Amino acid sequence: MKVKYYKDEIIENEKSIVLCGPTPRDTTTISWRPEALKILEKLNYDGIVYVPEYENEKEYDSDFEKVKYSWERNTYLNSTVIIFWVPRKIPNMLGLTTNVEFGYWLKSGKCIYGRPDYAQRIAYLDWLYNLEYKKEPHNNLEELLKEAIILASKEE
């Protein structure tokens, strides 16, 4: 598995998954993405994983903030599968940008979506996902990632 963070090269035409969803905006809230990477490793995923976060906080660069959105957009364009995991918990994991990204990319046909049962204010995302994909959202991150691996492998 190749893990790519902000500033890393985006590779075209290779099996890849991007981990889209809320990113902590403070230092006390724990990101869900390290757990997702552990699960993908355990499932022997052998493609690229794009992680729209800094590999470590010391890499934060205010100048990069201006181009971060382009990096994210390019990962969505070049990924085989876009997973949306939305562990929304107010006030620390709002996912406001995630809402926009979800609506924007949903019609791409390469999205899968899930959220834990405790997630707040996700009824519209659930409804929209069901409307567009005729599927219920996953409520288990590992099951969501298993489906992502299957879908990514079909596109090879």
CA distances from 94 to 10, 70, 79, 90 (A): 27, 21, 24, 6
- Cα–Cα nearest to 93, from 138, 150, 28: 28
In this predicted structure, what is the pLDDT of residue 57? 65
| pLDDT, mean over the chain | 92
Res 80 pLDDT > 70: yes
Q: Give the Cβ contact number of residue 57 at 10 Å.
A: 8
- Tens-place pLDDT, residues 12-59: 989 999 999 998 877 788 999 999 999 999 999 999 999 998 887 655
**Both tokens assigned to 25:** 């905006």
Q: pTM of the prediction? A: 0.92
pLDDT at 111 over 70: yes
Q: Where are the chain's structural domains? A: 2-154
Q: What is the pLDDT of residue 154?
A: 85
Segment 119-143 mean pLDDT: 97
pLDDT of residue 140: 98
Compute the average pLDDT of residues 59-83: 82
- Decide if 35 contacts 141 (C-beta within 8 A): yes
CATH number of 2-154: 3.40.50.450
CA–chain centroid gap for 119, Å, is: 16
Nearest to 18 by CA among 87, 71, 95: 71
